Amino acid sequence: MAESAELILDGKSYTLPVVEGTEHEKAFDIGKLRDQTGYVTLDSGYKNTGATKSAITFLDGEEGILRYRGYPIEQLAEKSSFLEVAYLLIYGALPTQEQLENFSHQITKHTLVHEDVRKIFDGFPSAAHPMAILSSLICSLTAFYPESVSPDLSKEEIDLNVIRLMAKMPTIAAWTYKNNMGHPLNYPRNDLDFCSNFLYMMFSFPTEKYDIDPRIVSALNKLLILHADHEQNCSTSTVRLVGSANASLYGSVSAGINALWGPLHGGANQEVLEMLQAIQADGGDTSKFIAKAKDKNDSFRLMGFGHRVYKNFDPRAKIIKKAADEVLAALGIDDPLLKIAQELEQAALTDQYFVERKLYPNVDFYSGIIYRAIGIPTEMFTVMFALGRLPGWIAQWKEMRENKEPIGRPRQIYTGELERDYVSIENRK
Ligand code: SDX
């Protein structure tokens, strides 16, 4: 007999069906709760609420497990490439050689953006944050491809929008950086793979040859793989919610970019670097900043620490920490900020405040050390997170559409004024 839960309200008994996933996670299905009982549930921050059923990514926060379509992140980070992982997330299976070559070729063919996109750059102040520009320009793709707003796109049309987005985001991201630096823009090259092309567009200069370092290409592939999806996090839930209104893929992802920019979410990688630099400027006393993080009267938080789901360790942080050591050693870089980060981690992991609250380094704690080592400026760190998360956002948007999920519209508990009559302005106090 299917498992269920009994709810007793005002003396009446209601049965709630239990839903069990392939990894034996369980949920009460409350889809009919309000119709049957007049009650809704309340769960600020959705800490206990499942928004959907999904076959894309599995997390186990207690065990520190992260798998994309069943494949452990440790294996993918070691053996796969970002485009192969993107295909896996979006289409549900590892591609054959032919499928991967076709996917990669299609993306290469679409890396150019309309020349009118360049004109939009001219409208931004030179000091504009790259995430503000990225979210605007990704949304602008809806203007350049108006057919993308149709809710009745065929599979082929959706695939074309997927290819366009995967192809043009790196170009737009790199142009955002070059525009901010006042450098000439580099056009994409069809002879380079995804990560090499991005590095070329970011760092090549007309006046000097840019040698693409395979060690940096490998580090970038690994970082993008580790950021590619993370089930129903804030920005992905945003993409799904906006997409549930039949908004276009470009508009939905643009909304996700803005959610990711939040310093409590993907914006934390920039905050971590700035925090490490502040500690360095202050003399490097990590204990002072640990005390600030614990002080309830101080708004300072240890950025890059803590996670809504991982209450043990973030498996991505372990891989990135190891990669940071490897990349810096390979490039012969001795970054004092890495030492400060390691000291901070050690201090926090032996401090009761952090141990009691199960606060460990998350994906953002060490990623900036690597971005910095490969020459990416701090303000571009969250753009890098968005570039990595793009296939996850696409996969989740596509799954929501294919499952024909209803428009997202949460309920509330009203706590405002009771009914009262209008008072004309002359009679107001
Ligand atoms: C990402 O969801 C995802 O999957 C996100 C992500 C992804 O891949 O998409 O993994 C990416 O967003 C990683 C998180 C990056 N953010 C940060 O590093 C910012 C710092 N971390 C925190 O603000 C916090 O830990 C969150 C936002 C990550 C999680 O917040 P929660 O789950 O709402 O936890 P909380 O704020 O309720 O904190 C619980 C307790 C509180 O203390 P008490 O009220 O119990 O005394 O822990 C404390 C908090 O004050 N706490 C921290 C802390 N994080 C939590 N105290 C000091 N420093 C911190 N970093």
Catalytic, out of 230, 265, 314, 364: 364
Tens digits of pLDDT across the chain (429 residues): 678 999 999 999 999 999 999 999 999 999 999 999 999 999 999 999 999 999 999 999 999 999 999 999 999 999 999 999 999 999 999 999 999 999 999 999 999 999 999 899 889 998 899 999 999 999 999 999 999 999 999 999 999 999 999 999 999 999 999 998 999 999 999 999 999 999 999 999 988 889 999 999 999 999 999 999 999 999 999 999 999 999 999 999 999 999 999 999 999 999 999 999 999 999 999 999 999 999 999 999 999 999 999 998 899 999 999 999 999 999 999 999 999 999 999 998 899 999 999 999 999 999 999 999 999 999 999 999 999 999 999 999 999 999 999 999 999 999 999 999 999 999 999
Burial 66-82 (b: 16+ CB within 10 A, else e): bbbbeeebbebbeebbb
The string of DSSP letters for 231-293 reads SS-HHHHHHHHHHTTT--HHHHHHHHHHHHHSTTTTTHHHHHHHHHHHHHHTTS-HHHHHHHH
Whether 307 is a known active-site residue: answer yes
- Residues 6+ positions from 320 with CB-CB distance below 8 Å: 223, 226, 363, 365, 366, 367, 370
In the chain, what are the domains? 4-50 (2.20.28), 74-403 (1.10.580.10)
Catalytic, out of 129, 227, 265, 307: 307
In 3D space, the residue among 55, 9, 127, 68 whose CA is nearest the CA of residue 388 turns out to be: 68
Residue of 310, 359, 387 with the most ligand 1 atoms within 8 Å of its CB, for mutation: 359
Residue 250: Cβ within 10 Å count: 23
User: What are the phi and psi torsion angles at 84 (to 5°)?
Assistant: -65, -40
Q: What pTM was estimated for this model as a whole?
A: 0.96
Residue 287: its pLDDT value, please?
93
User: Whose Cα sits closest to atom 31 in ligand 1?
Assistant: 308
Residue 1: its pLDDT value, please?
63
Residue 312: its pLDDT value, please?
87
Residue 412: Cβ within 10 Å count: 7
Q: Is 184 helix (H, G, I), strand (E, B) or coil?
A: coil
Rounded to whole angstroms, how far apart are CA atoms 205 and 155? 40
Residue 209: its pLDDT value, please?
83
Measured from CB, residues less than 6 Å from any atom of ligand 1 are: 45, 230, 233, 264-266, 268, 293, 301-309, 357, 359, 362-364
